[in-house]
Amino acid sequence: MASPYFERLSAVDAAFLEIEDENCPMHVGAVAIFDAAPLTRPEGGIDIDRIRALVATLLVPRYRQRIARIPVTNHPVWVDDARFNLHYHLRHLSLPAPGDDRQLKRLAGHVMALPLDRNKPLWELWVVEGVSEGRFAILSKTHHCMMDGVGSADLMVAAMGTHPSETVAKPRRWRPRPAPTPLELLAGELRRNLGGGGAALRAAARAVTQPRRNAELLRDAVIGFLQRRLERKAVTA
């Protein structure tokens, strides 16, 4: 069985999470506009399945991870999202006619004003068709704690091939690593803050991560103590 996996956010990245509020979102975004003809299906409309398949081949592990919190300290960590669903993160919609730039800008403003769901990986891609003059747009939205503006743009650049007929590679199967329990996160924080050495520290970590085993040891110790007391009383009686 795989060991639980988590990765602490740096102090700077954690700060981007903590200073965010409803009036100050901390995600970054970009809008790119394309000629729709190379990706238009014979029956009409953008080939969203092709775009989705391409994005699936480009996702680095961070794009499949969500935020968890260490108990007591509340420091954020990255853990694999076992419920990751690309269909949630890659949205598809169409502007109503005439689909001019003013409508696209209003849509971008609305999308950027909405907070990202912190129970899921902190990014979204919106494929917007129906843009005037035979165009479509891709709107990207990524939290600053996950990747800076330059890095976020790199995902969009990576999705741009040099020819529309390029074959999309089959994405590798992704297996999420198990997320740690809150007790395991707390034990890891103890090891980190106290240096990780010493019998007392190891015992504290075991007490946190193995509560049932420690309860059994305590029960056995109490029973043994009571039995010895009864035996001594029987001898002196």
Number of Cβ within 10 Å of residue 75's Cβ equals 18
Give exposure, 98-136, as e/b (b: 16+ Cβ within 10 Å): ebeeebbeebbeebeeeebeeebbbbbbbbbbbbeeebb
As given in the structure block, the two tokens for residue 178 are 């198990």
Helix or strand (DSSP H, E) at 94: strand 90-94
Q: Does 143 participate in catalysis according to the annotation? A: no
Q: Give me the catalytic one of 92, 143, 144, 163.
A: 144
Residues ≥6 apart with Cβ < 8 Å to 31? 104, 108, 137, 138, 139, 140
**Please, where are the H alpha helices in the chain?**
11-18, 48-58, 86-89, 101-113, 149-158, 182-193, 199-209, 211-236
Residue 67 C-alpha from the chain's centroid: 6
Q: What are the residue numbers of the active site?
A: 144
